[in-house]
Amino acid sequence: MKEGPNIAEVAALIGDPARANILTALMSGKALTASELALEAGVTPQTASSHLAKLERGGLVAPRKSGRHKYFSLTSDAVAETLEALMGLAAGHGQLRSRPGPRDVAMRRARVCYDHLAGDMGVAMYDSLLRRGHINANPNAIILTESGKAFVSEFGIDLASLPPSKAPLCRACLDWSARTSHLAGQLGRAFLSHFITRGWTRRIENSRTLVFTPEGQRAFSALFELRADHP
C-alpha cells in the first residue's frame, strides 16, 4: 500500500459534476442551504443532501445551523485555493461550461473568488501593486513592501487590526479567466471588504459576479493608477 495523502479520494469527491457545481457555488464565500445548493447542482434536495454528506466527511464543506436552517460553506482557504487552481487548469485546457451572455462577461470582469476580488479588475489591481513596488513577488511568497504598507494604510486598511487568520498576508491566486494572478490572502480579503463597504461595488444576488458603480470604477482606477475605462 502506498503511503502519503490520498489524492484520489479528494479528486473523486470534486470530480462528480453535481458536487463540483456545489463547490463552485460556495466559492462565492457565502454559506448556502442544501436547497440552494440543490438548485446550483441541478439535483433534487435529497440528492444534494447525500452529496453534501460526502463532502462533509471528506473535509471539503462544513455545516452550521442558524435557527431552523443548516448552512454549508467551504472548510478553509486551502479548499478555495485548490478549486480556483482547478478552474484555471480546466480553462487552460478548453474545459469550459457553455454559459454565454452578459453574466459571463460581467463575471470575467469582476467576481468574488471566495473572499477576494478576481477577474480582470482583480488582475489589474495585482499588476498595479507589482508595478508600483507595493508588493514583491518571489517563488516562495508575495511580500508587502514598506511603500505598500503606507499605501494600504492611506487607503484605510489597518494591518494590525486584521482578523486572526492562518492565511498569509499576501498570496498570488491564479485567475481562471485571465490565466494570470490576482491578489488573495488577508490583504486581498481586506481590499474587497473595503470596496464593498465604500459602496464601490456590490454582489449580484445568487452569483459570484461583482458590479462596480460608475463612481466606484473611477475611484478604483484612480487608486491603482489605471485608465478610467480599465479594465
d(CA 31, CA 70): 9
- Which residues of the chain are under the pLDDT cut of 70? 1-4, 91-103, 228-231
pLDDT at 77: 81
What structural domains and CATH numbers belong to the chain? Answer: 7-75 (1.10.10.10), 79-223 (no CATH)
What are the tens digits of pLDDT across the range 89-123? 776 655 555 444 345 788 889 999 888 999 999 99
Q: What is the pLDDT of residue 99?
A: 45
Cell 474545459 identifies what position?
A: 95
What would the grid cell of residue 58 be? 471528506
Angle between helices 7-15 and 17-26 (to 10 degrees): 90
The pLDDT value recorded for residue 213 is: 96
What is the structure's pLDDT at 98? 47
Exposed/middle/buried for 61, CB within 10 Å: 0-12, 13-18, 19+? buried
Three cell numbers written together for 203: 454582489
Q: Nine-digit cell at 2?
A: 502506498
